[in-house]
Structure 1
Amino acid sequence: MRLSTPRWWYSRDRRARPVTRALLTPVSWIWAAVTARRIARTAPADPGVPVICVGNLTVGGVGKTPIVRALAERLAARGVEVHLLSRGYGGRLEGPVRVEPKRHTGSEVGDEPLMLARDFPVWVARDRAAGARAAAAAGAQVIVMDDGHQNPSLEKALSLVVVDGETREGEWPFGDGRVFPAGPMREPLAAGLARADASIVLLPSDLAAVDAELAAMLAARPLLVARLEAAEPPPSGPQVGFAGVGKPWKVERALIAAGCDLADFAPFPDHFAYDEATLRALAARAEPFAAGLVTTEKDWVRLPPAWRERVAAWPVRAVFETPEALEDLLASSEPRR
């Protein structure tokens, strides 16, 4: 059973769930210590080609996958043979295996790899080093790894951390700075930033600028800003939205900001496996509004084939404010020719 992301994690107000935070804090100390020890003691493997890691400092969704897609598109435009590498979270195959959209399902390889494999070669592997070697043997010149900032098994030519830049309604991307499970951090902020080459703050399309305090916290490394924009308008007419992502409430906000006539919205845990009963319940929820059903691309690929014809996928893309700064970063990691 998957649990929803606790929204109180992202509150800076320590009065929010004080007892829960206090009880979980000792466990968070253990988590942080184990992570630090693993990173310090692991010798990273060199797969023979540059690896660009797109990671994050928190658990829950921050928008890594649109950033991975944007980097892959830019590398491909430069004539680089780019392959993507993922752990395949939510899938059962250990790999290394190259994802084939017509053959694999989300339950086998994970939803994000299945979605990205429609555009790029994607490998899933529990053993990241083995997956990178397989990609290199298949002709990859550069590997973009989705997640893995806390995974030390691979030598990284470039480590980028994606930060959720949405700081409204009392939310803060790092909460009060506590490490999982007392807060959203995978490791202490200073430790994570020390291993990063740059930070990418991802803003929703309707937020004017990066919060000044957040920008100051990230100032020790180059800071890039990207916006999450709709690749196409949401479907017309009344809609009931649903999403099983790290922060489903952000999908609801984004649909409304994009002009969707959102009659209702149903949140689900990240990587939720939609069964027939759940989907029928969603369809029944839409009936009183004479509404259609809309969800994210990531959710859509997890739907049974028959339901994909009944549910609209709403795609989004990451657009960089200063693409030249991104180009400079990518050029530093490209293989020499």
Structure 2
Amino acid sequence: MTPASWLYQAAASLRSSFISPYQASIPVLCIGNLVAGGAGKTPVALALGRALVRRGLKVAFLSRGYGGSESGPLQVLLDRHSASAVGDEPLLLAEAAPTWISRDRPAGARMAAEAGADIILLDDGFQNPALSKTMSVLVVDGGYGFGNGRVIPAGPLRELVSQGLSRADAVVLLGDDPRNLEEVLKATLPVFRGHLTPTRASAGLRGERAIAFAGIGRPGKFFDTLRTLGVELVETRSFGDHEPYRGEDLIDLIAQAEQKDALLLTTAKDHVRLPEELRLLIRRVDVELVWEDPAGIETLLDRIDVSGS
């Protein structure tokens, strides 16, 4: 697959060379990654967004709306939009701050600024050259790293690691670091460590029997988290990332949970994709990002000039 990877890289380079990035009227903080699949971008975006809100800033999240039918630009409204329309991640972001989806990122940025935002948090879009970024933070899963180090389709990378690091301002390294990535990365960029931890409400699951299912980039991480919480998993099921759930799959899962006298657990991102009438039967397990050095993150955010907002 290596020749196909060369073509993928060439196409990305050609695209960038023909685009003049749009400069938004307010700062744009991009949260991206270098691999396809889940790395933890959305929890990082939420954590940084909440930190900026605590500073008194009007934060607007901007997302492509992957998996949704709407192209935007439009503001995500929790009482109006479903995951099938705007995607699952924008619904989670909209729980924390005003959120916009737009496949045309500059159009979304303009609309968010016109609505009164002080700063835009771009969830993904690091490889999209259409919108200029004030600061870019790369999220790296410490356990997975960069896979085999090859670009799609020969590997999981969206671009070469060296290229991505050259355009980033900082790295957030999530979880354990068995590959010793921190030592390598911090030679180039500041590295901030963090851990995704279940919220206090989820801590009460210890000792419970459960069936767990997930359709995220790496479902095994969710199952491992539940085991760490002390949940007795009697069954696990994995679905495709962002995959819409079929009614028959959910009915079968609910029946299995009743038969085995077990809870039915899933991630927050999966829960917002469920039919509304079934959500009360399936428990959502939320996680939050805990920084190893909260003061360091505040120092990073100090570098973003919002004085003109």
TM-score, normalised with respect to structure 1:
0.87
Contact 2:135 2:304 survives alignment (8 Å): yes
> Which residue among 135, 139, 160 is the counterpart of 1:162?
139
Q: For residues 174-193 of structure 1, what are the alpha-carbon distances to aligned partners after superposition, in whole Å with 9 as ceiling and x for unaligned?
A: 12211011111000110011
Q: For residues 277-323 of structure 1, what are the alpha-carbon distances to aligned partners after superposition, in whole Å with 9 as ceiling and x for unaligned?
A: 11012123324421111000000011001110100000001111111
Q: For residues 83-123 of structure 1, what are the alpha-carbon distances to aligned partners after superposition, in whole Å with 9 as ceiling and x for unaligned?
A: 00000000010100000000000000000101221221000
Task: After TM superposition, give the deviation of residue 259 of structure 1 in Å.
Answer: 1.6
Rounded to whole Å, the distance in 2 between the matches of 1:334 and 1:228 is 28
Aligned to 2:180, the other structure's residue is in SS state helix
Task: After TM superposition, give the deviation of residue 134 of structure 1 in Å.
Answer: 0.3
1:328 corresponds to 2:299? yes
Rounded to whole Å, the distance in 2 between the matches of 1:123 and 1:190 is 31
State the partner residue of 1:153.
Answer: 130
State the partner residue of 1:21.
Answer: none
State the partner residue of 2:195.
Answer: 227
Rounded to whole Å, the distance in 2 between the matches of 1:280 and 1:101 is 25
Task: After TM superposition, give the deviation of residue 212 of structure 1 in Å.
Answer: 6.0
Contact 1:178 1:188 survives alignment (8 Å): yes
State the partner residue of 1:62.
Answer: 39
Aligned to 2:172, the other structure's residue is in SS state strand
Instruction: Report the residue type matching 1:59 in the other structure.
Output: A
1:309 corresponds to 2:280? yes
CA RMSD of aligned residues (A): 1.3
Rounded to whole Å, the distance in 2 between the matches of 1:180 and 1:127 is 23
Aligned to 1:224, the other structure's residue is in SS state strand
Q: For residues 124-150 of structure 1, what are the alpha-carbon distances to aligned partners after superposition, in whole Å with 9 as ceiling and x for unaligned?
A: 000000000000000000000000110
> Which residue among 241, 249, 260 is the counterpart of 1:270?
241
> Which residue among 143, 153, 158 is the counterpart of 2:120?
143
Q: For residues 248-267 of structure 1, what are the alpha-carbon distances to aligned partners after superposition, in whole Å with 9 as ceiling and x for unaligned?
A: 11111111112222111100
Rounded to whole Å, the distance in 2 between the matches of 1:300 and 1:334 is 36
State the partner residue of 1:129.
Answer: 106
**What are the equivalent positions in structure 2 for 1:271-290 lying under 5 Å apart?**
271-290=242-261
Contact 1:39 1:150 survives alignment (8 Å): no
Task: After TM superposition, give the deviation of residue 213 of structure 1 in Å.
Answer: 3.1
Task: After TM superposition, give the deviation of residue 42 of structure 1 in Å.
Answer: 2.0
State the partner residue of 2:174.
Answer: 202
Aligned to 2:140, the other structure's residue is in SS state strand
- Describe the shift of the 1:29–1:132 C-alpha distance in structure 2 as closer, same or farther (beyond 3 A): same
Rounded to whole Å, the distance in 2 between the matches of 1:155 and 1:324 is 27
Contact 1:85 1:124 survives alignment (8 Å): yes
Task: After TM superposition, give the deviation of residue 247 of structure 1 in Å.
Answer: 0.7
Instruction: Report the residue type matching 1:301 in the other structure.
Output: V
Q: For residues 46-79 of structure 1, what are the alpha-carbon distances to aligned partners after superposition, in whole Å with 9 as ceiling and x for unaligned?
A: 1100000000000010010000000010000000
- Any stretches of 5+ residues in structure 1 without a counterpart? 1-23, 167-171
Instruction: Report the residue type matching 2:165 in the other structure.
Output: L
Instruction: Report the residue type matching 1:222 in the other structure.
Output: P
State the partner residue of 1:26.
Answer: 3
1:44 corresponds to 2:21? yes
TM-score, normalised with respect to structure 2:
0.95
State the partner residue of 1:183.
Answer: 155
State the partner residue of 2:226.
Answer: 255
Contact 2:142 2:179 survives alignment (8 Å): no
State the partner residue of 2:69.
Answer: 92
The total of aligned residue pairs comes to 304
Instruction: Report the residue type matching 1:194 in the other structure.
Output: S
- Describe the shift of the 1:178–1:104 C-alpha distance in structure 2 as closer, same or farther (beyond 3 A): same
